[in-house]
Amino acid sequence: MSTVETQELTALRAAVSALGQRHGRGYVREELWAEAAKLGYLGVNLPEEHGGGGGGMQELSIVLEELGAAGCPLLMMIVSPAICGTVIARFGTEAQKEQWLPGLADGSLTMAFGITEPDAGSNSHRITTTARRTDDGWVLNGRKVFVSGVDIADATLIVGRTEDARSGKLKPCLFIVPRDAEGFRRSQIDMELAAQEKQFELVIDDVRLPGDALVGEEDAGLLQLFAGLNPERIMTAAFAIGMGRYALARAIEYAKTRQVWKDPIGAHQAIAHPLAQAHIELELARLMMQKAAALYDAGDDIGAGEAANMAKYAAGEACVRAVDQAVHTLGGNGLTREYGLAQLVTASRVARIAPVSREMILNYVSHQSLGLPKSY
């Protein structure tokens, strides 16, 4: 890693790895969250003047990847410091920064992110959650689905749409909605996914917000939205790479010691080659993730957008294949609770599906990178 990471980043990777190894697969989310926060890892990407580490997505993605590689990923890192923290740090008012960033950095505050809607799916242009101006603020109405961790979040950053006074067209805007706001209701979605963070559907029924609930300017909606979505894709890639590395490490350990015939099964190319291929694919995905993070931290939003989508795609594919091969390497043991791999078969699909499907990323690359015409 010395050829692509500075000594500081390599040291951070080693330190976080040690933290993850102390907690391991049987981790308690609240305990790990608190210790990671105390060590400054949760807010490593946030500004120093607001209690953060002054780093960027390069540092934060390392934290999530290494925790995942130890079997204890913190899903809310994708949402709270990466999406919400970044958006507020870049576009929030000074009051919003002072209210939220220190808490997001030290882990005492958590923020969820709501963009997906039941009927809109991956089409953010069909978002129907609307915000209407009033004399003293805003009124929000709409629905959201697959919102992570609303029950443990102090507020949710909601993507809504406001009407442009000049054109009458709806444009995206971001609002901070407190957890206890009147008319803001949640119901847990029954998921087969084994994760400590729960998924929720939100009903936003005439939720009244003060004027300062709006994050950023009304006229900069898409810019502000993608300022959060690019980090989301980078961190999803880190999540997937960490999971893939965890599964691969379990398989390698097993292949070195499991002996059925004369030699350990890892000596057979039918076992060794697929594991080597999985390792290569994870490393390639990591390189693209590092490129995306470096571009984002350098302020190149356009370049980061392309790289972040590619990183998320590559990491999702590599993770699924690594988990599948790990389970296959262990055979029947790969389906037991003892080895903890079977639940990853479902979890690994998350990076293919969320926050945007692999097919929509292929659409993005087709249109934006290759210049091919749209079919929709």
CB contact burial 22-39 (16+ within 10 A = b; e otherwise): ebeeebebeebbebbbee
Q: How far is CA 67 from the centre of its chain?
A: 13
Start and end residues for every CATH 1.10.540.10 domain found in the chain? 7-111
How confident is the model at residue 114, as a pLDDT?
A: 94
Closest C-alpha to 320, from 240, 233, 239, 236: 240
Average pLDDT over residues 247-273: 95
pLDDT of 217 higher than 90: no
Q: CA 278, CA 101: separation in Å to the nearest integer?
A: 38
Please check the confidence at residue 234 and state whether its pLDDT lies above 70: yes
Q: Distance between CA 255 and CA 275 in Å, rounded?
A: 10
| pLDDT of 1 higher than 50 | no
217 or 44: which leads in pLDDT: 44
- Give the rounded percent of residues in the chain with a pLDDT score beyond 90: 82
Q: Which CATH number among 1.10.540.10, 2.60.40.3620, 1.20.1540.10, 3.40.1030.10 corresponds to the domain 7-111? A: 1.10.540.10
Q: State yes or no: pLDDT of 228 exceeds 90.
A: no
Q: Residue 166: its pLDDT value, please? A: 52
Residues 81-99: what's their mean pLDDT?
A: 96
d(CA 47, CA 54): 5
Q: Where are the beta strands (DSSP E) in the chain?
A: 111-114, 130-134, 137-148, 155-163, 170-178, 184-188, 199-210, 214-215
Return the ∠ at Cα 106 (arms to 240 and 62), rounded to 5°. Answer: 25
Residue 2 is predicted with a pLDDT of 44
Q: What type of residue is 352?
A: R
Q: Which of 8-22, 116-130, 320-334 has the lowest mean pLDDT?
A: 116-130
CB 131 within 8 A of CB 175: yes
Global model pTM greater than 0.85: yes
Residue 205: what residue type?
Answer: D
Share of the chain above pLDDT 70, in %: 94
Does residue 145 register a pLDDT over 90?
Answer: yes
Average pLDDT in the 152-161 region?
94
Check whether 240 has a pLDDT greater than 80.
yes
Phi, psi for residue 372 in degrees, rounded to 5: -80, 155
Question: How far apart (Å, rounded) are the C-alpha atoms in residues 142 and 260?
Answer: 58
Dig out the tokens for 22 from the structure: 């102390």
Q: Does the CA dihedral 194-124-95-98 come out positive or negative?
A: positive
Which pLDDT value is given to residue 70?
Answer: 98
Least confident piece of the model among 140-149, 176-185, 211-220: 211-220
206 pLDDT more than 70: yes
CATH architecture of 112-220: Beta Barrel (2.40)
pLDDT grade, residue 220 (50/70/90)? low
The ranges of the chain annotated as CATH 1.20.140.10 are 222-369
Q: For the residues 163-187, what does the mean pLDDT come to?
A: 82
Q: What is the mean pLDDT of residues 94-110?
A: 97
Tell which wins on pLDDT, 210 or 376. 210
Confidence of residue 273 (pLDDT cuts 50, 70, 90): very high
Query: How far is it, in rounded angstroms, from Cα 209 to Cα 189?
Result: 26
With a cut of 70, say whether residue 219 has pLDDT above it: no
pLDDT of residue 119: 82
- The most distant pair of C-alpha atoms in the chain lies apart, rounded to whole Å, by 80
Which of 106, 48, 109, 105 is closest to 82 using CA atoms?
105
Query: In whole numbers, what is the pLDDT of the chain averaged over residues?
Result: 92
Q: Which fold has domain 222-369?
A: Butyryl-CoA Dehydrogenase, subunit A; domain 3 (1.20.140)
